[in-house]
Amino acid sequence: MTTVFDRELGELKEKILRMGAMVETAIRDAVASLVERNSELARKVIENDHKINALDVEIDEECIRLLAIRQPRAGDLRFITTAMKITTDLERMGDLAEDIAERAIELNEEPILKPYIDIPRMTEIARGMAKDALDALVKGDTKLAMDVIKRDDEVDLLNVQVFNELLFFMIQDPHTVSRAARITYISKYIERIADHATNIAEMVVYLVEGKIIRHMEKPEG
């Protein structure tokens, strides 16, 4: 038998997934606006961020309401408090997409420094991590969550690679400095998006297994 509370929890999960899809789109469009030199698209990302923020507030208020009215216990209580933390991460990922879009607009006004290869690769990994972390939350799938956490290393490595390559440009030709610095920022923003996805995945593992994975040491290598 499905209770009103079950339906409300189902709607909460749907809203979180919807917020996640909006964040994913913002990330994809922000990087596309850079790669395709489409500042119109970048401005759209910036304009749309308030929708992500509005959904964050809406989910937060809904969680508070459920805590007050339904007085949930055990698993449901933990799910709701985790949801409140997760949407904070999602909201910050949306802000980072906006930051990428802002740097893209600046970069699109100058000649292209080099074709973007690693940045789109990093972005695809980070977006996949965000998507899978939320799927893991909704399905309670710790295996998927652990897989998200593992992928964070790839993004970190690509970020270092991008940084070193751009440093080389800056050293060779000081005229490239302002552009190269902006691209290193974008790379760092994507790395932070992946970090937020990792945080979400760690919270999912904790939620399901009661293990505080976010405080465990990373294996070497």
- Residue 107 Cβ, how far from a copy of itself at the closest point, in Å? 17
Among 73, 109, 219, 220, binds a copy of itself (CB under 8 A): 73
Residues 27-56 that bind a copy of itself (CB under 8 A): 50, 53-54, 56
Q: Does 15 bind a copy of itself (CB under 8 A)?
A: no
| Interacting positions 81-120 with a copy of itself (CB under 8 A) | 81, 84-85, 88, 91
CA distance 184 to 166: 7
Q: Which two tokens stand for residue 30?
A: 């922000």
Q: Which stretch binds a copy of itself (CB under 8 A): 4-12, 27-35, 142-150, 162-170?
A: 162-170
Nearer to a copy of itself, 19 or 32 (CB): 19
Q: Does the footprint of a copy of itself cover residue 174 (CB under 8 A)? A: yes
Q: Does 163 bind a copy of itself (CB under 8 A)?
A: yes
Nearer to a copy of itself, 13 or 188 (CB): 188
CA 152 to chain centre: 12
Q: Is residue 25 a contact point for a copy of itself (CB under 8 A)?
A: no
Closest to a copy of itself by CB, 32 or 191: 191
HEC assignment per residue over the chain: CCCHHHHHHHHHHHHHHHHHHHHHHHHHHHHHHHHCCCHHHHHHHHHHHHHHHHHHHHHHHHHHHHHHHHCCCHHHHHHHHHHHHHHHHHHHHHHHHHHHHHHHHHHHCCCCCCCCCHHHHHHHHHHHHHHHHHHHHHHCCHHHHHHHHHHHHHHHHHHHHHHHHHHHHHHHCHHHHHHHHHHHHHHHHHHHHHHHHHHHHHHHHHHHHCCCHHHCCCCCC
Stretch near a copy of itself under the rule CB under 8 A, chosen from 23-31, 33-41, 77-85, 97-105: 77-85
Footprint on this chain of a copy of itself (rule: CB under 8 A): 50, 53-54, 56-57, 63-64, 67-68, 71, 73-74, 77-78, 81, 84-85, 88, 91, 163, 167, 170-171, 174, 177, 181, 188, 212, 214-215
